[in-house]
Amino acid sequence: MLWPARRVPGAEVVAVAARDGERAREYAKQHGIARSYGSYQALLADPEVDAVYVGLPNGLHGAWAAAALAAGKHVLCEKPFTANQQEAIEVQALARQKRLVCREAFHYREHPLMEHLVQLLGGSSNNSSSSGSSSSGGTGPLGRLRSLEAQVLIPKWVFGGANIRFQETLAGGAAMDAGCYCLHAMRTLAAAAGVGGLPRVEWAAAELASPASQVVDGAMRGALRWRGSGSSGAGGGGGAEQDQDVTARFTASLQWEGLLPRSTIDLEGDRGRMHVSNFIMPVFGHVVRLSTTSITPTSTSTSSSSSASTAAGAAAAATTTTTTTLRVYGTGESTYWHQLNRFVADVRAVNEAVDSGDEGALLAASRLLAADEADCVANMGLLDDVYRAAGLQPRLPSAQAVAQQQQAAAASKAVGAAEAGSTM
């Protein structure tokens, strides 16, 4: 965040907060930040802060995003947006009421690679189609989308057992940390391809992070399915209703045996397939491999096509597979630069709309806020469903999780005391 902030016009890091004032001061000095605070609340009272980046553990996202909104600040909140969907709904309702941008920091989505994939599949730009409603898309080279697969695999050497990602009271878990990317990317690309509505979680299976915890997943796999009607697929002219049946599989792991982090997406349609490597951190190198199949009718059976020739009576058809390799770096800026750039532009647009009171500008601003709201509420809802399907509970905000643990400890102490009493 600090590095892009130096390079995005209109962005300036004016203050930083930590729970420890001395550490905050040291950090501010090291990074040339004008002011530091020894509590998050103190930072929120700073009138020169327009927007807050919430980079806290998952279980604290909702509470601090809400506190920032209540203080009149726009919010860029780390992924996953909150601990669960209910919390996402509450935080976003506040953002809507305050007319403030409150966005989940899916930085990968802002990179030209993802933008290119969305447009290739026939979708529209910048998250506008990823909330679950179908786009006019699906006119891309893959034809009608049939299946997707996403993987985000973090090697187990990266995070030790004490990391926030493994803490029950901080809304930890592999699905929360890595799985939220898988779900978001698959929803975004499916919507771009004209697949309408939200998927159902068909099944999910968790590997617990440690035998000591019955709650925190170290890895999560699962499958989603979109059924029912969606907008038309490739060549359908866009927008016409048609039946759809699209499946999606995902794997999220924080205990992967591999050496380096891996993130991939695979898509398959009735006219081709696509593999995307390193979709989360594309600036460090990625590849898109697109294979499309075209069937060309030939007049006789003397076709000399590169692949199969089919004779059906007098008519014959040649099937040709073409493989293309793409890389999309845009200006070479990182996902984080693109994320901040759009955030600043959107904050400016919303502020100007509110200040001017112009009806058209206000309508555009409310659409922008609604797109963020729908997107993160949908993703958190799917995460909740994944946990339920895996036989685990959706995560809890930290305050609730701590209270629950304290109640459980008090209850077990009471049972222990009662048992001791009854044996006397």
Ligand X SMILES: NC(=O)C1=CN([C@@H]2O[C@H](COP(=O)(O)OP(=O)(O)OC[C@H]3O[C@@H](n4cnc5c(N)ncnc54)[C@H](OP(=O)(O)O)[C@@H]3O)[C@@H](O)[C@H]2O)C=CC1
Active site residues: 79
Please tell me whether residue 112 binds ligand LJPVP2WV under the rule CB under 6 A.
no
Residue 236, judged by CB atoms within 10 A of its CB (0-12, 13-18, 19+), counts as middle
154 binds, among ligand X, ligand LJPVP2WV, none (CB under 5 to 8 A by kind): ligand LJPVP2WV
Total interface residues for ligand X by CB under 6 A = 15
**Which is closer to ligand LJPVP2WV, CB of 138 or CB of 173?**
173
* 219 three-state secondary structure: strand
164 binds, among ligand LJPVP2WV, ligand X, none (CB under 5 to 8 A by kind): ligand X
- The site map against ligand X for 41-80 (x = CB under 6 A) is --------------xxxx-x-----------------xx-
Torsion of CA 37, 38, 40, 41, to 10 degrees: -90
Q: Which residues contact 335 (CB under 8 A, 6 or more apart)?
A: 107, 108, 110, 111, 280, 281, 282, 283
Helices 359-389 and 85-98 cross at an angle (nearest 10°) of 170
Q: Cα–Cα distance between 370 and 132 in angstroms, integer? A: 13
Q: Which residues contact 317 (CB under 8 A, 6 or more apart)?
A: 295, 296, 297, 298, 309, 310
Q: Cα–Cα distance between 399 and 388 in angstroms, integer? A: 21
Residues numbered 153-192 forming contacts with ligand LJPVP2WV, rule: CB under 6 A: 154, 177-178
Closest to 198 measured CA to CA, from 188, 210, 208? 188
Residues numbered 131-160 forming contacts with ligand LJPVP2WV, rule: CB under 6 A: 154
**Which is closer to ligand X, CB of 105 or CB of 368?**
105
**Continuous segment of H or E residues that includes residue 377:** helix 359-389
Give the position of tokens 């698959």: 186
**Which is closer to ligand X, CB of 203 or CB of 284?**
284
Which phi and psi (to 5°) does residue 12 adopt? -150, 130
Q: Supply the minimum distance, in Å, between the C-beta of residue 129 and ligand LJPVP2WV.
A: 23
**Which is closer to ligand LJPVP2WV, CB of 175 or CB of 178?**
178
Total interface residues for ligand LJPVP2WV by CB under 6 A = 4
- The site map against ligand LJPVP2WV for 242-281 (x = CB under 6 A) is -------------------x--------------------
Q: What is the binding site for ligand LJPVP2WV (CB under 6 A)?
A: 154, 177-178, 261
